[in-house]
Amino acid sequence: APTVTIPEQFNVADAFLDRHLREGRGDRVAIHYEGQHYTHAQIAELANRVGNGLLSLGVDLEQRIALLLLDSPQFAAAFFGAIKMGAVPVPLNTQLRPDDYRYMLNDSRARVLLIHASLWQTFSPLRPELPYLRHVVIVNDLEASVPLDSTTHDFDDWTAHASPQLDLAPTSKDDSAFWLYSSGSTGFPKGCVHLQHDMIYCTEYYARSILEINEQDIMLSAAKLFFAYGLGNGLYFPFSVGAQAIHYPGRPLAATMFQLIERYCPTIFFGVPTLYASMLSLPDVARYNCSSLRLCVSAGEALPAELQQRWQATFNVPILDGIGSTEILHIFISNRPGDIRPGSSGKPVPGYRALLVDEQGHEVAQGETGNLLIAGDSIAACYWNKHEKTKATMHGYWIQTGDKYFQDSDGYFWYAGRSDDMLKVSGQWVSPVEIENTLIAHPAVLETAVVGAPDAQGLIKPKAFVVLKEGLTPTEELTEELKAFVKERLAPFKYPRTIAFLPELPKTATGKIQRFRLRDTARTLPDDSGSR
Ligand code: 3UK
């Protein structure tokens, strides 16, 4: 395994931008985007302009810059340009609701927001409720034609008026570099504070050691750049070696992914299990030409063995399943090319230590299931302004992942569920409690409990058990109405895919809902069972 030594004074933007210019890679393509391409020199210059633009707005070291951007060259330039001038970019999930944005913008106290025009409608009513936000910069304003003023700027004008030359801010290797928000089962999302050295660590130990990325690679990530997974795949992995990324601003649908693969010939494709399943279920799937791919990667939730085997048999390219987290930044246990155990997460990535412990913190015997702790130097420094959650999760060198695992006799790690109630749905966190709190607001609902239920492919989807108020009977229309009710109020990926009506919920003597009994019910009974 490589050893990574990083100098005390260090700004990671140098490693990802200026180094390629010094080493003669400036004219190589960095990003393919909607039929255009941008070289490493062009992105480095645009990043400098963004950095100078931020300086001109009065942004200082350590101040947060929120990004509500689609995958694009502007995202790349904004992220690296902010880091280069010493500010701290905070990419936000573009699929969330105004309440989520109000919280994250005020919690981070972002001074500037860079937002894509297509998201303006969602954001603009919030602006009076954001006391820390001073400026908004709109990418693609032609689309929204937002009236500009002294605090509302158009990205193209703003960068055109900024100098293309920018000095690196003299940050240390342990300064904050960027944050990513991660949601939990209850309470607000937590800002994971990542440091200047974290991306280098993931690049050296995972991307170089396991994927063997190099400047010949062309990377396509279905996972968006605002996820920790996508940020590595589509941004700092390719920029760490002067390789190429394909950025796609739209929804990562199965057929679209195949079109992008055939059009741009990527060498590595990154997806989540739900996407691989829907790609494989397209009619006549073997007709798609995937011969450019040397590797595929899956993360976000466990990849069922059957999917990995069917993909390998269809396209003759392996999928490497690996587990990562927003806190640890990227993948820390992974299968390897030529060493895949289908259904498992593989073995610890060099640079990371894994430990399985019981509730008392003692290491479990080989083969026993335990709570997974990880040590490694890409772990977030803390959750921003959440001291209790930080202490409960991060213990010195070790972090509690919240996952249960066991190790087989050959050393492969097998996922065995969460220790909280959180669900991973299509690679995104869904909180059952949040869905329950939404459903209970519907006038027909007396009580509800949401659990994860596996679909035909073995992938988990949220399922709601609902007790209706006196005198109401379950109907097909009501089922659809309840789904729509949740969809309107929460981010669209959070709605319950199935709803089962029960006369009452199973409870303990003290009145606590017995979720484990509902989970078993979800596993053994068909979807429409349980109607009274
Ligand atoms: C679950 C997995 C089984 C697990 C992520 C790659 O998913 C990422 O980050 P998140 O913060 O979620 C972390 C949690 O998701 N999980 C992720 N991958 C797997 N479970 N098998 C897997 N392969 O519960 C973990 O704690 O959204 C993935 C790279 C960077 C990431 N941040």
User: What letter does residue 147 receive in the DSSP assignment?
Assistant: P
| pTM (2 d.p.) | 0.93
What is the percentage of the chain residues whose pLDDT exceeds 70? 98
Question: What token pair was written down for 223?
Answer: 């996972």
User: How far is the centre of ligand 1, averaged over its atoms, from the C-alpha of 196 (Å)?
Assistant: 22
Q: Whose CA is nearest to atom 21 of ligand 1?
A: 302
- The answer to whether the beta carbons of residues 431 and 402 sit under 8 Å apart is no
Confidence band of 515 (pLDDT split at 50, 70, 90): confident
Q: Which atom of ligand 1 is nearest to the CA of 328?
A: 32
- Angle (nearest 5°) at CA 198 between 248 and 135: 60
Q: Whose CA is nearest to atom 8 of ligand 1?
A: 325
Q: Which of 194, 224, 347, 424 to mutate to test ligand 1, by most ligand atoms within 8 A of the CB atom?
A: 424
Q: Which atom of ligand 1 is nearest to the CA of 321?
A: 23
Q: Which of 301, 347, 414 to mutate to test ligand 1, by most ligand atoms within 8 A of the CB atom?
A: 301
pLDDT of residue 532: 33
Assembly ipTM: 0.99
Q: Any residues with Cβ below 6 Å from ligand 1, and which? A: 182, 228-229, 299-302, 321-326, 330-331, 345, 401-403, 415, 418, 424, 429
Q: Whose CA is nearest to atom 6 of ligand 1?
A: 324
Question: What is the Cα–Cα distance from 230 to 427, expressed in whole angstroms?
Answer: 11
Tens of pLDDT, residues 132-178: 999 999 999 777 788 899 999 999 999 999 999 999 999 999 999 99
Q: Which of 275, 323, 404, 414 to mutate to test ligand 1, by most ligand atoms within 8 A of the CB atom?
A: 323
pLDDT of residue 508: 82
User: How far is the centre of ligand 1, averaged over its atoms, from the C-alpha of 348 (Å)?
Assistant: 14
SS3 content of the chain, % helix, strand, coil (to 5): 35, 25, 40
User: How far is the centre of ligand 1, averaged over its atoms, from the C-alpha of 239 (Å)?
Assistant: 23
Q: Where are any strands of DSSP class E within 338-457?
A: 347-348, 353-357, 370-375, 394-395, 398-407, 413-418, 423-425, 428-430, 445-454
Q: Which atom of ligand 1 is nearest to the CA of 331?
A: 29
Coil/strand/helix, residue 311: helix
The mean per-residue pLDDT over the stretch 506-532 comes to 68
Q: Whose CA is nearest to atom 17 of ligand 1?
A: 300
